[in-house]
């Protein structure tokens, strides 16, 4: 009867619309003023639109006829009411208001009391995923937003349960897994309007990980959408699980007999495992060992959130918070290779090579084909002058992922260091073919052209990288070098002064970031060589001493030794290098430092 009732109401609206058209046609034949007729016609159509909107509002929101929403409520071959799709945006806004009531909503007593780690239960069945994710969000949001999000999820749970009951009543039997997923997808993506966040800055936006913001905005990236899907499924006791991939996350229905993947970024499409293996270039070994494409426990879903938030914190310059999240992620899951790789990456970019290597080794023990760990470890070997080991690791990445941009780009730099220009250019071409806008690939190609003496092409590469991302500092540094080598001294000096100003501003905002002290000291040293001003060298010396007080890294001590030599303090420079060679705590290119020491002694 429900399907017939909807058909009947649908016909009433169609008849009303037809009568309206007949009245307008009759008025057209009468001798009324055409302006009056136009106004009258607009009023009729406007009244029809308002009636139509309210009709569907009471159907969906007030649930007077919930059953027609289900995908099985329509007669065979019938299409959903076409005008319904037109006003979907309006209904989504109404739904958003309904799901976030203005009054105070009480959470269960002590719901947010435990810490994030305490909210995790070793028994997966007893763990409340919603509670853990709201405790996670509480670290960034006020409790009022958490209350509203809890109420919204409760309301959505009731709505979805009602829809499933209505469909069961219509069919007169229990639903098949396909039917359950179909109803779930229709409610989640079409009624509630959840969709993929396609903004350029989505990977730097914490709102994509915080449940209250996801519910308000109705969009997120793969992890946020999938987690909300899992929370609703958990509360309805449906056998759904999260599935993790490198840089991706989706949902799987698995009741022991029926297995169906649900791609939450594409309206719940049922892509097979083969699609994900090809798309994300997974190694056979990592799939067989259950590192990827395995059903995750709820605890591991929370680990994914911690790892993602840590990466966002790092990109926003909040290194301490990033490390804290990575530590919690690796403490909750000892088999989470991405957490160790992320932690190693932070230490690597911070210049702490020894610590970075330790975490990359842990990541590779879990997943021997972890691409982040392999590429970064290869970069470390390049810094240490171990080019053969670097090439071996990069080729291991390319054996699994032939289109890996960073692997091709770094392999090109290995060839550049060896003087194999043709091979280097071919590798750069492969990198840029995979991703023509990759900042690191463009910058590395410019470095190779510079070393080949092809300065115009190098400058073009650096300029293109800066058009893609104006604040990309490696290209800003290297374009100074290329311009100076090309004889464009006035342009190089202008660029260099702009960089000096940039780093001075950074130091005002971030006085504890040792890398900024080092980069500014390097710039002032180069500027002193060009302008012959001793004051630049003296300022650079003070800056690098500040950097060493924050982090006594080998490359900082090398620069301090070089500055002392330029300030005509040869003995002090030699002493610094001898002390550095005696250091067994840090990894660095000892051969390069030794050769530099011999030059200083001979000078």
pLDDT at 170: 87
All residues at 6 or more sequence positions from 90 whose CB lies less than 8 Å from its CB, including other chains: 53
Average pLDDT over residues 437-449: 95
Would you tell me how many other CB atoms lie within 10 Å of the CB of residue 497? 13
For the segment 525-559, what is each residue's pLDDT rounded down to a tens digit?
999 988 888 999 999 999 999 999 999 999 999 99
Distance of alpha carbon 428 from alpha carbon 486, whole angstroms: 22
All residues at 6 or more sequence positions from 322 whose CB lies less than 8 Å from its CB, including other chains: 310, 311, 313, 314, 346
Residue 491 has pLDDT above 80, yes or no: yes
pLDDT at 40: 61
For the segment 251-289, what is each residue's pLDDT rounded down to a tens digit?
999 999 999 999 999 999 999 999 999 999 998 888 998
pLDDT at 82: 39
Checking 265-271 for CB contacts under 8 A at 24+ apart, the result is: 265/196, 265/221, 265/222, 265/225, 266/196, 267/185, 267/189, 268/181, 268/184, 268/185, 268/188, 268/189, 270/181
Confidence of residue 53 (pLDDT cuts 50, 70, 90): low
Query: 58: helix, coil or strand?
Result: helix
Percent of the chain with pLDDT over 70: 82
Residue whose token pair is 């994914």:
304
For the segment 207-247, what is each residue's pLDDT rounded down to a tens digit?
999 999 999 999 999 999 999 999 999 999 999 999 999 99
Average pLDDT over residues 33-41: 57
Confidence of residue 512 (pLDDT cuts 50, 70, 90): confident
Distance of alpha carbon 288 from alpha carbon 372, whole angstroms: 20
> What pTM was estimated for this model as a whole?
0.78
pLDDT at 174: 85
Residue 44 has pLDDT above 80, yes or no: no
All residues at 6 or more sequence positions from 246 whose CB lies less than 8 Å from its CB, including other chains: 280, 282, 292, 338, 371
Residue 582 has pLDDT above 70, yes or no: yes
pLDDT at 30: 55
Decide: 259 and 240 in contact? Cβ < 8 Å. no
All residues at 6 or more sequence positions from 413 whose CB lies less than 8 Å from its CB, including other chains: 382, 424, 444, 447, 448
Between residues 78 and 322, which one has the greater pLDDT? Answer: 322
Largest CA distance in the chain: 109
């Amino acid at each position: 009867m429900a399907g017939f009732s909807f058909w009947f109401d649908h016909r009433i609206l169609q008849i009303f619309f037809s009568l309206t058209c007949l009245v307008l046609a009759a008025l057209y034949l009468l001798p009324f003023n055409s302006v009056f007729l136009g106004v009258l016609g607009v009023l009729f159509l406007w009244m029809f639109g308002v009636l139509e909107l309210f009709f569907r509002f009471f159907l969906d929101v007030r649930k007077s006829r919930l059953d027609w929403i289900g995908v099985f409520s329509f007669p065979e071959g019938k299409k959903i009411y076409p005008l319904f799709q037109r006003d979907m945006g309006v209904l989504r806004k109404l739904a958003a208001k309904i799901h976030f009531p203005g009054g105070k909503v009480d959470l269960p007593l002590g719901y947010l009391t435990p810490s994030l780690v305490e909210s995790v239960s070793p028994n997966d069945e007893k763990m409340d995923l919603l509670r853990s994710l709201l405790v996670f969000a509480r670290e960034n949001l006020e409790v009022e937003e958490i209350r509203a999000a809890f109420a919204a999820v409760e309301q959505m749970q009731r709505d979805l349960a009602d829809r499933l009951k209505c469909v069961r009543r219509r069919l007169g039997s229990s639903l098949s897994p396909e039917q359950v997923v179909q109803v779930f997808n229709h409610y989640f993506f079409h009624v509630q309007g959840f969709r993929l966040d396609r903004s350029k800055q989505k990977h730097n936006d914490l709102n994509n990980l915080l449940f209250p913001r996801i519910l308000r905005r109705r969009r997120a990236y793969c992890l946020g959408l999938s987690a909300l899907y899992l929370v609703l499924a958990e509360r309805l006791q449906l056998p759904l699980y999260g599935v993790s991939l490198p840089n991706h996350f989706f949902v799987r229905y698995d009741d022991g007999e029926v297995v169906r993947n649900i791609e939450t970024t594409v309206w719940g499409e049922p892509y097979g495992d083969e699609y994900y293996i090809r798309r994300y270039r997974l190694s056979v070994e990592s799939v067989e060992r259950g590192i990827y494409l395995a059903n995750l426990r709820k605890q591991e879903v929370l680990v994914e959130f911690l790892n993602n938030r840590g990466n966002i914190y790092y990109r926003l310059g909040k290194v301490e918070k990033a490390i804290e999240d990575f530590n919690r992620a690796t403490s909750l899951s000892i088999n989470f290779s991405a957490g160790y790789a992320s932690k190693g990456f932070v230490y690597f970019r911070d210049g702490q090579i020894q610590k970075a290597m330790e975490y990359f080794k842990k990541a590779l023990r879990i997943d021997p084909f972890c691409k982040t760990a392999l590429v970064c470890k290869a970069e470390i070997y390049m810094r240490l002058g171990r080019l053969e080991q670097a090439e071996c690791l990069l080729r291991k990445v390319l054996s699994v992922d032939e289109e890996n941009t960073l692997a091709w780009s770094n392999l090109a730099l290995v060839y550049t260091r060896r003087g194999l220009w043709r091979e280097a250019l071919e590798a750069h071409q492969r990198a840029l073919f995979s991703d023509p806008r990759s900042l690191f690939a463009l910058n590395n190609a410019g470095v190779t052209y510079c070393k080949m003496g092809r300065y115009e092409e190098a400058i073009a590469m650096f300029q293109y990288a800066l058009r893609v991302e104006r604040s990309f500092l490696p290209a800003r540094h290297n374009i100074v070098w290329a311009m100076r080598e090309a004889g464009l001294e006035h342009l190089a000096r202008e660029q260099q002064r702009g960089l000096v100003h940039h780093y001075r501003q950074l130091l005002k905002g971030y006085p504890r970031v040792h890398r900024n002290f080092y980069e500014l000291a390097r710039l002032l040293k180069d500027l002193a060589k060009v302008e012959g001003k001793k004051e630049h060298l003296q300022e650079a010396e003070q800056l690098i001493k500040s950097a060493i007080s924050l982090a006594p890294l080998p490359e900082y001590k090398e620069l301090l030794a070089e500055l002392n030599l330029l300030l005509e303090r040869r003995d002090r420079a030699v002493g610094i290098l001898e002390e550095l060679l005696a250091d067994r705590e840090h990894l660095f290119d000892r051969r390069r430092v030794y050769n530099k020491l011999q030059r200083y002694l001979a000078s």
